[in-house]
Amino acid sequence: MAQLVIIKPKNRFRLADLAEIWQYRELLYFLTWRDIKARYKQTIVGIGWVIFQPLITMVIFSLFFGKLVGMPSENVPYPIFVYTGLLFWQFFATSVNDASTALINNMQIVTKVYCPRIILIMSSIMAHLIDFAAAAVILIGLMLWYGYLPSLFNLLMVPILVFFTFLIALGSGLFLASLNIKYRDIGKILPFFVQLFMYLTPVIYPPSIVGAKYSWILALNPMTGVIKTARSELLHTYATNWLQFGISAAACLVILVIGWLYFRHAERYTADYI
């Protein structure tokens, strides 16, 4: 019962910080719930908008890149090819955009009450899991339509890939949200850069068109690993390239560590600067 709180000038890493995230799990749950609930209040279509966006994007991309350009799509129909990519990409893109403004948007909480602030960033990402789940329904429909039946092992890879995407978004989000404390430019320009970044990720094209010589550059982008693996597991485009997945996983870890270290550094002045 008796807790001991020691307040000192911010010090080095303590394991207690990680345990604290677990202690505050109900806060994570409630903030996620708040974000989801508040997002669709006073809308008619509500969560339906979540399906609408990737669906229309998929139709347009299929029309332009699939039909008109004749983009190769690893021997699977282009619509399901691009939708698999879009599904994971949108989860990542919306998460990073929201995570980067999570501290600023919760300024009142940051400046008036104590809580592990990483929770604010985590919850802004978790709130998009529900969007992912809703949009995944379309993928299931496409898979049934085109007759792709994944095995149990294939399906087990999906939560792992979602978790990976979560970690990549968390690492980037921690870094960008902390940077946003000092430089509000981040919030203004980030959505544009995230959009650009999609073209550096094999969402609308297969990585093969880049050529073997430069494929390692793509692999350094951890979202490449996620999307490629999702396609090979669910659509059986080819055997999963575990080496490339490993490179992406390592890149993900690097992003997470850098993001977290910078976040901890910035935490010393977060409440004063914001």
User: Rule CB under 8 A: which residues touch another protein?
Assistant: 2-10, 26-27, 30-31, 34, 37-38, 41-42, 108-115, 182, 268-269, 271-273
Nearer to another protein, 124 or 201 (CB): 124
Q: How far is CA 223 from CA 44, 151, 220, 227, 240, in A?
A: 33, 23, 9, 6, 15
Nearer to another protein, 46 or 72 (CB): 46
Query: Min. distance of Cβ 10 from another protein in angstroms?
Result: 5
Helix (H) or strand (E) holding 59: helix 48-61
Residues belonging to the chain? 274
Strand, helix or coil for residue 249: helix
Query: Min. distance of Cβ 96 from another protein in angstroms?
Result: 23
Distance CA 267, CA 9 (A): 11
Amino acid present at 148: Y
Q: Angle, to 10 degrees, between the axis of helix 152-182 and the axis of helix 242-267?
A: 30
Nearer to another protein, 212 or 272 (CB): 272
Query: Min. distance of Cβ 106 from another protein in angstroms?
Result: 8
- Is the separation of the CB atoms in 119 and 31 below 8 Å? yes
Nearer to another protein, 39 or 236 (CB): 39
Amino acid present at 163: F
Amino acid present at 272: D
Nearer to another protein, 14 or 112 (CB): 112
Structure-token pair, residue 258: 């850098």
Query: Min. distance of Cβ 127 from another protein in angstroms?
Result: 13
- Is the separation of the CB atoms in 137 and 51 below 8 Å? yes
Query: Min. distance of Cβ 8 from another protein in angstroms?
Result: 5
